[in-house]
Structure 1
Amino acid sequence: MDSTDTRHEWAKRSGEYSPEYYAYYGPDETSETVRRLLERFVGRDAAVLELGCSSGRHLAHLCDHGFDELAGIEINDDAFDVMERTYPDLAAEGTFYARAIEDVVTEFDEDRFDAIYSVETLQHLHPEVEWLFDELSRVTADLLVTVENEGDEKQTDETYVDDGLPLYYRDWGRVFTETGFDQVTVESGKRDTVRAFRL
């Protein structure tokens, strides 16, 4: 499966891991972790972008806690219909891009966002688009947060979720320190590793 195939699969995603699926569960412990890190390092006035925002459950949590300059990128068009029904305030107040991450980020000015974060999204980016990691460094003014499944020493670089969609294990600490960030915190959970980086 190449990067085009991967984008196509996520763009038409339904059922498990779809926008409806995430909206049903709503904000969670990860939403709280992201909020805590943003408040600690950049504050509620920060311009914040979520990569792969789906129907917006993490952004909605930020919106409910006083963050007012929120944006998201999501390839699945259905996500925005779900967002309007489930999180109408976020849908009305946020800025959203209904395209692939790699097609949007290149259009942003340098240091466009004070903070950018990703929750189990970067792990699905095909190796063909790893140039995007440098672009994320370019458009981030201060803080980058990754909440990703990094695998363990027994796993290969690539695996597949239940229905054959690829997941690429990477050491995000290495990836983003090589693009110029300093890692300021790391927390290992049952499934994901949370890392915060600053420029």
Structure 2
Amino acid sequence: MDSNDVRREWADRSGEYSPTYYAHLGSDEASELLVSTLAERVSRDASVLELGCSSGRHLAALREAGFSDLTGVDVNADAIDVLVETYSELAATGTFHVAAIEDFLPDLPDDAFDVVFTVETLQHIHPDEAWVFEEIARVTGEQLVVVENEDREPGTTMEVRGGIPLYFRDWRSEFTSRGLVEVDSAATKRDTVHVFEPGR
């Protein structure tokens, strides 16, 4: 798959790993970790952006915890429709965009959001689009929280069900090499959580 194929796969996704699939699952361990991590580090009125928000389950958990300035972006247009149906209060108060993050981020100013976070989204970024990690670092004002898979050797690629490519990377290195400082990390059952701050 080239980078365009990967984006199309997610834009058209239905069934397993679709927005409806994740809405049915609801909040999870990653949601709880995001809430506890951000509650310790930023105020409840911090501006928060989720990259790859799908149906909004993690943002919904943050809203329930009192965070009020919430934005999400997802390449799948159905994600926002499912979000409106499933998390109507979040939909009414948050801001949501249908776009690939590779198209969305370059138009943002530096430090556009106090907090940027991802959950199992960056692991699907094609190697040709790795420049987007620089954009993520650029728009992060205070905290970047990355919840991604790290259970194989960096540089390894595998396909998960449905032929979706998963690209394994050393997330600490990816972002410290772009000027961020890692301030915390933890393991979940599925992923590794890294918390970064701008080094400037």
Name the TM-score class by shorter chain: over 0.9
Partner of 1:177: 176
What amino acid does structure 1 have at the position aligned with 2:184? Answer: T
How many equivalent residue pairs?
A: 198
The 5-angstrom pairing of residues 19-34 of structure 1 reads 19-34=19-34
Shift of 1:156: 5.5
Shift of 1:39: 1.1
Shift of 1:16: 0.7
Deviation per residue, 1:59-108 (Å, 9 max, x gap)? 01111111110001101111111111110011111111101001000011
Deviation per residue, 1:128-168 (Å, 9 max, x gap)? 11111111111111100011001234x85211111111000
Partner of 1:63: 63
Moved more, 52-61 or 186-195: 186-195
Q: Distance in 1 between matches of 2:134 and 2:14?
A: 31
Partner of 1:107: 107
Alignment TM-score, normalising by the size of structure 2: 0.96
What are the ranges of 5 or more consecutive residues in structure 1 without an aligned counterpart? none
* Poorly superposed stretches of 4+, deviation over 6 Å: none
What amino acid does structure 1 have at the position aligned with 2:20? Answer: E
What amino acid does structure 2 have at the position aligned with 1:40? Answer: E
The 5-angstrom pairing of residues 44-63 of structure 1 reads 44-63=44-63
Partner of 1:188: 187
User: Does the residue aligned with 1:186 lie in a helix, a strand or coil?
Assistant: strand
Identity score, percent? 53
What amino acid does structure 2 have at the position aligned with 1:189? Answer: T
What are the ranges of 5 or more consecutive residues in structure 2 without an aligned counterpart? none
What amino acid does structure 2 have at the position aligned with 1:62? Answer: L
What amino acid does structure 1 have at the position aligned with 2:103? Answer: D
Alignment TM-score, normalising by the size of structure 1: 0.97
What amino acid does structure 2 have at the position aligned with 1:144? Answer: L
Moved more, 144-153 or 68-77: 144-153
Q: Call closer, same or farther: CA 1:176–1:156 in 2, change over 3 Å.
A: closer
Q: Distance in 2 between matches of 1:189 and 1:55?
A: 21
